[in-house]
Amino acid sequence: MPELPEVETTVRALREPVVGRTIIDVWNDWPRLIVTHDLDELKYQIHNQTVQAISRRAKYLVFHLTNGEHLIIHLKMSGHLSVVAPEIPRHKHVHTIFHLDNGKELRFKDMRKFGRVYLVKNTDEFFQKLGPEPLEDSFTVDLLKERLKGRRRIMKTTLLDQHIIAGIGNIYADEALFYAGIHPERGADELTEEDFVKLHAAIKKVLNLGIAREGASIDLYAKPDGTRGEMQNAVAVFRRTGQLCRQCEQYIQRKKLNGRSTHFCPTCQR
DNA sequence: ACCGGAGCCTGTTAGC
DNA sequence: TGCTAACAGGCTCCGG
């Protein structure tokens, strides 16, 4: 479910209730969610550790602990984090709970169980293979060009590859290609100078719009407090199959590309 | 090195 | 209505 804007929204919402809190215990009923440790080891490692900061890298949330360890969580398709009082009934899809020193619980709910928890010391090493953050100032037109250089796969698939650029998923890939006027089946090596400039601006535009609107609640995604984002009301093409393009008289088309549902305007995108 | 497809999971929706 | 297949905001692994 969540892409860069949804994860960023989650991080921002968790800072107030979690930063400064100390983790006193961990509960889990689906061991595969925790990748780097078994439950007892994890409990031992993070017991009495205070969360000093929460940050985001690509679609990962990073909780910085006082002992120098980093608790890293990926929400994958259906993950959701919330901080609630213990008396709130636990939803059946909650598979991990971090108990905080004020009695509240940081709950990781994940219907499809694709989500993952890691505890790592060295984040540079952990994130080594990820591409650049598209919203950083260092993500320039030249850097985008360099990242796409020599790649022959189609643009849709290229934008989804986290090793090339980090943080873009299915919604924002379709949206960015629309605003750039680039057909999703164009090869990355066919882009012109003008395409690079437009794509660079389009990526920043759609991700910033997604953050401003606090994420796209098209299916399962919700903010930590359970309320919906607003980005679903501002999409140009995603899941708008058969509806009118906002820029011309054509209808939005859907096509499956390398297994991923892709939405585009055949007139505006070439 | 690059690329595409299978697999991981459960729930919802589309199609017969 | 009721069943079955397709589909779902992601990523890793494996083979070509």
- Chain A span 17-56 residues with beta carbon within 7 Å of strand C: none
Contact A179, A202 (CB under 8 A): yes
Q: Would you say residue A255 has pLDDT above 90?
A: yes
Average pLDDT over residues A82-104: 97
- The mean per-residue pLDDT over the stretch A63-81 comes to 97
pLDDT score of A113 more than 90? yes
Average confidence score pLDDT of chain A: 96
A219 band by pLDDT with thresholds 50, 70 and 90: confident
Closest nucleotide C1' to the C-alpha of A2: C9
pLDDT digit string, tens, across residues A183-199: 999 999 999 999 999 99
| The model scores a pTM over 0.85 | yes
Q: CB of A217 under 7 A from strand C?
A: yes
Q: Could you tell me how many residues make up chain A? A: 270
Q: Which nucleotide is nearest to A254 (CA to C1')?
A: C7
Residues of A labelled catalytic: 2-3, 59, 260
Residue A1 pLDDT greater than 90, yes or no? no
The separation, in Å, between residue A153 CA and nucleotide C16 C1' comes to: 16
Q: Per-residue pLDDT averaged across A75-84, rounded?
A: 97
A106/A83 Cα distance (integer angstroms): 4
Which residue in the block uniquely carries the two structure tokens 């009495």? A48
Radius of gyration of chain A (CA): 20
DSSP state, residue A157: H
- Between A37-46, A115-124, A214-223, the lowest mean confidence (pLDDT) is in A214-223
Structure confidence at residue A249 as a pLDDT band (50, 70, 90): very high
Strand pairing category for A105-110 and A60-65: unpaired
Is residue A197 within a helix (H) or strand (E), and if so which, with residue range? helix A193-212
